[in-house]
């Protein structure tokens, strides 16, 4: 299937590894010029080399950025525009808040999660919207969590701030639809990433079991019977970014192997 996005400029948040890198790779395969960003210089260099090796004829650029800082995000979008062109496809993504209960969460934990998970999405969207509106075309995809449909135990901070992203995006989708811009949330279930390893370790410690037993318990809750591969999430993100998905907006799409039982 031709997704109709060859030549589009894509910016993917937190894309030196995991879901971000997989999504950048998939968009590059569709012919997009891709900007990746992260705080880790070494991981960023490795990711760029990997992407350029896989897609030698595609424009790939990398940018160091702290997604908790407004000035960094504004500068990032400006640099991407200067080097690759105005952003057509924005994929917001950031590291998740740490596991823990309500009593574990300090004010500093809440404030960091608000900046990293919620405000980073708001600021990235704000920075790219003027160019999208001027050109009458845009795709905004937010990696959030299945917590939008069903709170996840021991992830109270993540559950709360990701709902804020979902509410913002749903409202924004209606505001920008007349400009040819779609806004959707992508809700991963348990996926084979570093973040999932962190959650598995936290569950193992909480329940007094091994990491292997904790992962087995998680997999038993997934009807498909395994963790997702990041490439499977990336394929859905690429579809939401495509011309084929021009009539899909304001959606929070679960990609979780059937783990969430809610309708």
What is the number of structural domains in the chain? Answer: 1
Among residues 150, 98, 99, the alpha carbon closest in space to that of 259 is found at 150
pLDDT in tens, the chain (263 residues): 789 999 999 999 999 999 999 999 999 999 999 999 999 999 999 999 999 999 999 999 999 999 999 999 999 999 999 999 999 999 999 988 989 999 999 999 999 999 999 999 999 999 999 999 999 999 999 999 999 999 999 999 999 999 999 999 999 999 999 999 999 999 999 999 988 888 888 888 999 999 999 999 999 999 999 999 999 999 999 999 999 999 999 999 999 999 999 88
Among residues 165, 136, 147, 130, the alpha carbon closest in space to that of 13 is found at 165
261, burial (CB in 10 Å: exposed 0-12, middle 13-18, buried 19+): exposed
Residue 15 lies in a domain: yes
Residue 161 lies in a domain: yes
Among residues 113, 89, 95, 80, the alpha carbon closest in space to that of 18 is found at 95
**What pLDDT is recorded for position 20?**
97
**What pLDDT is recorded for position 197?**
86
Q: What CATH number corresponds to the domain at position 21?
A: 3.40.50.720
**What pLDDT is recorded for position 262?**
86
| d(C-alpha 31, C-alpha 43), whole Å | 23
| d(C-alpha 87, C-alpha 95), whole Å | 22
**What pLDDT is recorded for position 199?**
84
Residue 215 lies in a domain: no
Residue 260 lies in a domain: no
Residue 210 lies in a domain: no
The residue segments making up the domain with residue 104 are 9-189+228-254
Among residues 17, 134, 22, the alpha carbon closest in space to that of 85 is found at 134
**Structure tokens of 140?**
């905004």
Residue 218 lies in a domain: no
């Amino acid at each position: 299937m031709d997704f109709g996005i060859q030549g589009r400029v894509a910016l993917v948040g937190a894309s030196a590894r995991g879901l971000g890198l997989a999504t950048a790779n998939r968009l590059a395969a569709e012919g997009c010029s891709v900007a990746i960003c992260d705080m880790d210089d070494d991981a960023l260099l490795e990711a760029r080399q990997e992407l350029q090796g896989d897609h030698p004829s595609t424009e790939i650029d990398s940018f160091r950025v702290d997604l908790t800082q407004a000035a960094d995000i504004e500068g990032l979008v400006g640099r991407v525009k200067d080097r690759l062109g105005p952003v057509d496809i924005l994929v917001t993504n950031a590291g998740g808040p740490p596991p823990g209960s309500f009593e574990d969460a300090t004010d500093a934990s809440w404030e960091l999660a608000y900046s990293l998970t919620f405000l980073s999405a708001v600021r990235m969207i704000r920075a790219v919207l003027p160019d999208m509106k001027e050109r009458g075309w845009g795709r905004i995809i937010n990696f959030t969590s299945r917590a939008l449909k069903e709170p996840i135990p021991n992830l109270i901070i993540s559950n709360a701030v990701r709902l804020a992203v979902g509410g913002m995006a749903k409202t924004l989708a209606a505001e920008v639809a007349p400009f040819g811009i779609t806004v959707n949330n992508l809700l991963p279930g348990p996926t084979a990433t570093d973040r999932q390893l962190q959650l598995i370790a936290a569950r193992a410690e909480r329940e007094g079991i091994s990491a292997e037993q904790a992962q087995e318990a998680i997999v038993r809750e997934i009807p498909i019977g395994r963790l997702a591969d990041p490439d499977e999430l990336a394929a859905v993100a690429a579809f939401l970014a495509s011309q084929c998905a021009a009539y899909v907006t304001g959606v929070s799409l679960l990609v979780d192997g059937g783990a969430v039982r809610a309708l």
